[in-house]
Chains A and B, each alone.
Chain A
Amino acid sequence: MECKLLQVTNVSFAYDKHLVLNDVSFELASGGLLGILGPNGSGKTTLLRLLGGLLCPTTGQVVLDGSDLDSIPKAGLAKRMAMVPQETYLAFDYSVLEVALMGRYPHLQTFEVEGPEDVELARAALTETGTADLEQRSFMTLSGGEKQRVVIASALAQFGRRAADAGRRPSEVLLLDEPTASLDLGYQLDIASTIRRLNKDRSTAVVVSTHDLNFATSVCDHVVLLRQGCVLAAGPIHKILRPDTVKDLYDVDVVVEQHAVAGHLTITPLARRATDAPDGH
């Protein structure tokens, strides 16, 4: 019964002459939890931006729910696809509620002001990420973990539907770029549990790009391994994340085992592999 929500077919992308992604293909099922793994510079962020419709592929297609991403109007897309960047820096000082309310933008008409429903939906999103009591705080004074959760709430606010919204609720996709980079352990666990809960309660499909293997294993059920813009492997996590694939990805010898207490795979690095093979593919 798995319908393919997101299909990436033969996507290549180049910034001017520099090829960043080369013939990438994979799929995301509705309600799936996908991790894009790879070392720094493998093109993960670019891929995520392509998935979010922020960039157009040089060749190939990204299809969401049967429609090419290009053909979906921006506001409509924003109601069902949200992206959480690695870091959010505000140029000016907004309150947490104001930041959450920014997620309501795609739902408002040109000169429409946020109504009580929108405020409720923003508040609900804050509650979902456990930041409701920070509502009146200035965003810039929050800690890194709190900021991330507020930004996630702002993204969730994009999905909120008003009573007047007609039709079936569209499948939602949440994209997160390195959500745990520069966060300490406690916040990493918070984010992981938030993601899992969203996925379970709302059936939100989640795509996480990360270089932290253990974070990926705690959250994702499918992975795509990306190295220097090419897909090394893609598929269910237990099948794909093996010592030999991790070795290909990171040039590191690891041990992969299912952790009895944590309930998911853990990957322990052992030693760096000497690269005697020529670099690249």
Chain B
Amino acid sequence: MAIGATTMTRRRNWFVIVAWLVFVANLQTQTPQRIVSVIPAVTEILFAIGAGPQVVGVGSYDNFPLDIGNLPRVGGLIDPDVEAIIALRPDLVVPYDTQVDLTNQLTRAGIPLFVYSHGTLADIPTTIRQLGHRTGHMMEAYKVALDIEDGLTGIAEAVSGRHHPRTLLVIAREPYSLRNLFASGGSGFQHDMLELAGAKNVLDGTLNRAVQVTTEMILQAAPEVVIEVRTVNRLPDAEIEKEIEVWNALPSLPAVQNQNVIFLTGNDLVIPGPRIVQAITRFALTLHPDAPLPNR
């Protein structure tokens, strides 16, 4: 029996639709095998969720975990090396949202992207889950994210009900001097870290992530605790002592009077990645030494 024209069209349409669905499904189930990340936090996340073996290139400022030791470096926020990235033949690149030129060039080269932006503390688990989806490690990613969320909740509970001291979080300043001092402002993940750890950021009212603070502002804010963050892995004790002494120039600060000027070193403190719980725990321990913190 001859098939009618309408039936032929319908069958053809079905065929097209099914083929299209198969094609798309295939696309999505192809996990990227050559991932390049220029962002320290993202590199850490990738390795934490088990996507390490798929990473072929990392940023120049990444230095954790140690597994990335011999991987090619492709630049960082200001100086991404497009040629080096493309030369690695990646099938997924993770740039910053502010790297407009880079994203344009990679899009033109037809390379899939996962665009990352710095966010708040709450964005970290979200980003981890998204990366899990994208790299085919959903299970591990969800576990890591959940661990982090649990960890954060645990810290919040441990410090709740206690007095949250007014704290100044110093990111950078001139050596041996209180000039050119930059502190965490009222937004951004470092502010979130501080508040979660059970402190009240004295610069809470400002909208910027980083604020240049003058002597007068410090005197007026009168912080009870000063936490200085250094991203090096270690500082000799003698150095730390000398730098703490610099604060004696402002004797009216409660932090100085009660000897609550503390130095914390390590780059886990400034990277919004998987080690965030560890970092916040360190903050919390500094602020509330006797709190019942998990992961002590």
- The answer to whether any beta carbons of A and B sit under 8 Å apart in the complex is no
Residue numbers of B with Cβ under 8 A of A are: none
